[in-house]
Amino acid sequence: MKEDEITGWFRQQRQLSSAAIPIGIGDDMAQIALDHGSSVLITTDMLLDGTHFDLATATLEQAGYKSMATSLSDCAAMATIPLAAVVAVGLPHGWGGRQLQELHAGVVRAADKYRCPLVGGDITSWKTDGRFAVCVSMLSKPGDKPPVRRSGAQAGDVICVTGSLGGSGRRRHLEFEPRVNEALQIVQIADLHAMMDISDGLSTDLNRICHQSRVGALVEASAVPMSQDAKAQTDPLDAALNEGEDFELLFTLSPEQWDTLHRRWDHPVPITRVGRITNTGRMEIKMPDGQVLDLKPGGYDHLAD
């Protein structure tokens, strides 16, 4: 069973009331309805030493920053406004105040920058062996527009990404800027049909949008924006398609809305059209030589062998 299969299984186990839980399992955040027409969204992200960062080379300050930035990227993925975060840690035996203060420095660097205060947490420790784990849970609220979901892509939509992709594992994954402000600006300019952040690689995350929207996609290989770190690799296209932790935005919108967005977007972070949504029901990629191949979800899967 892969990650998406078990997530689908979880979703099927309980029918959530759509009045109480407008958005449930399977999106970047869940939305919970409150009194007086208010609502709040929540995301949780567990980061593990040796998987999401390696404390042999990364600092705890960087781990703290990344843990917050990962959840902030989920807020961005739905174009919502971060409100507050809580941070729980599992500490290796013998760690104490010094390590927590270093971690805290990274947490508040992200918290201050994106105005998402740290409001609580939990400190626990492994009794014997056990490596460092940190879990950030974050609340956000809708902006002027409703949260953008994964399930609204339509055949004919333009597929866009922010920034450039691939090679994030070299260094960028520790210091990326979550696209919180960009997402809120994009939805001010254009109506989006679907959005998420690219955490497991473009091919895997686009497949999630296709699956949840019951559509297909055709990606233009020559249009995919490759990062400098991707270009330094032997197969830059593979890096841009399949490596994880870009934390860029992936979204779809009608060609007319794309024209508007393209014309009016003057932010330093570029937006690139990388393909279009199709009604084929499957993902394809058009190679620079004109050949059209199947595009397999090739990104990171925590449950893969």
In the region spanning residues 119 to 158, those forming contacts with a second copy, defined by CB under 8 A, are 119-131, 133, 135, 137, 139, 141
Phi-psi region of 94 (alpha: psi -120 to 50; beta: other; left: phi over 0): left
Q: Give dist(CA 136, CA 82) in Å, integer.
A: 13
Span 81-100, contacts to a second copy by CB under 8 A? 83-84, 86-91, 95-97, 100
In whole angstroms, how close is the CB of 229 to a second copy at the nearest point?
21
In whole angstroms, how close is the CB of 127 to a second copy at the nearest point?
5
Closer to a second copy by CB, 122 or 256: give it. Answer: 122
DSSP string, 168-233: GGGTHHHH----HHHHHHHHHHS--SEEEE-SS-HHHHHHHHHHHHT-EEEEEGGGSPBPHHHHTS
Span 183-222, contacts to a second copy by CB under 8 A? none
* Number of CB atoms found within 10 A of residue 158's CB: 21
1 lies in the binding site for a second copy (CB under 8 A): yes
- Smallest Cα–Cα separation from 201: which of 171, 228, 173? 173
Radius of gyration of the chain (CA): 19
In whole angstroms, how close is the CB of 56 to a second copy at the nearest point?
12
Torsion of CA 157, 162, 166, 169, to 10 degrees: -130
45 lies in the binding site for a second copy (CB under 8 A): yes
Among the listed residues 12, 37, 263, 290, the single contact to a second copy using CB under 8 A = 37
In whole angstroms, how close is the CB of 194 to a second copy at the nearest point?
18
Count the residues of the shown chain that bind a second copy, applying the rule CB under 8 A. 74
Q: Which stretch binds a second copy (CB under 8 A): 48-56, 158-166, 228-236, 262-270?
A: 48-56
44 lies in the binding site for a second copy (CB under 8 A): yes
Instruction: Give the helix/strand (H/E) hosting 139.
Output: strand 133-142
52 lies in the binding site for a second copy (CB under 8 A): yes
